[in-house]
Structure 1
Amino acid sequence: MSGEIRLGDKLPETTIGPFDAAALERYAAVSGDDNPLHLDDALAGKIGLSAPPVHGMKLLAAFEPMLKGWRNDLTLVGLSAKFIQPILRGETVTLSGRVLRVSENEIFLRLFAHGAARTPGVIGEATLRRESPK
């Protein structure tokens, strides 16, 4: 995709999930994040959650394909996030974003991941860079 990017542009929403127990177990195995909170219903219940939370880094990683789908002519050079509230196993997740800053070579975005509650579970930032002409 090409075309001018403007301050305030919204990225198309992307839906991921829901993630089941098997998906969280596979992610725990490959990521090394085997914190039982993400895998054990009883432990999640003890802290007041109705299901285990999805790994935050799994959610953060889902932004990259969303960004590529929006503008595959840009390169992701920075990605960070704050995890605001848990997004639970079994919830559908909506990813969205908005352009906050545009310069000649870089685009800075605010990113959101919302679970069933539609309040942000993850608030992130991404920096995308335009390819240099060769």
Structure 2
Amino acid sequence: MTPTQGSPAPTDWPKTGEEIGLLGFGPFEREQLVRYAAVSSDDNPLHLDERIAAAAGLEAPPVHGMLMLSCFESALMGWRRDIFVSRLSAKFLRPVLAGQGISISGRVVRSNLAPRPELVLRLAARGPDRELAIMAEATLLHHVSGPSS
């Protein structure tokens, strides 16, 4: 996959206001949190120990924020296969707890074809109670598939 440079702009490029739809992820079970902690080196006991989570005032350990953030790329790739994420920023607003899932939605807030096809999306992840857990913004670029160099 290579970024578009000098190739024709896509004819079906999304317009400002277009939505990506709603996509669910999870529930994030304790076993997933343990595996994520091992591969990410984020072994903060708050995410893994029920007693520590309870001492922090939570009913269960919170899901790692970066684990949930990784779901945004999957949601975007499910929407369009001809893009890649060039920038993603997020604000974590409230925890999602072990055993719960998230629903991701988004809307195109800027769509450019020149000098290169680029999109800016506002994204939201909501917990099981539909309360906003993560607000994010992603910059997406168009890519074309081709032979590897």
What is the TM-score of this pair, normalised by structure 1? 0.93
Q: 2:63 corresponds to which letter in structure 1?
A: V
Shift of 1:55: 0.2
Indicate yes or no: 2:124 matched with 1:116: no
Shift of 1:93: 1.0
C-alpha separation in 2, matches of 1:35 and 1:49: 15
C-alpha separation in 2, matches of 1:71 and 1:107: 12
The match for 1:20 is 29
Q: Indicate the RMSD between aligned Cα atoms, in angstroms.
A: 1.5
C-alpha separation in 1, matches of 2:71 and 2:108: 18
C-alpha separation in 2, matches of 1:69 and 1:3: 16
Shift of 1:92: 2.1
SS in 1 for 2:84: strand
Q: How does 1:74-85 map to 2 (within 5 A)?
A: 74-85=83-94
Q: 1:73 aligns with which of 55, 79, 82?
A: 82
Shift of 1:131: 2.9
The match for 2:4 is none
List gaps (5 residues or longer) in structure 2: 1-10
C-alpha separation in 1, matches of 2:60 and 2:141: 38
The number of residues matched between the two structures is 132
Indicate yes or no: 2:75 matched with 1:63: no
Q: Relative CO higher for 1 or 2, CA cutoff 8 Å, sep ≥ 6?
A: 2
Q: 1:129 corresponds to which letter in structure 2?
A: L
Percent identical among aligned pairs is 46
C-alpha separation in 2, matches of 1:75 and 1:18: 26
Larger Rg: 2
The match for 2:101 is 92
C-alpha separation in 1, matches of 2:28 and 2:142: 33
List gaps (5 residues or longer) in structure 1: none
C-alpha separation in 1, matches of 2:71 and 2:139: 15
- Give per-residue Cα distances to partners, 1:7-46, cap 9 Å, x unaligned: 1111121111101111100000000000000001111111
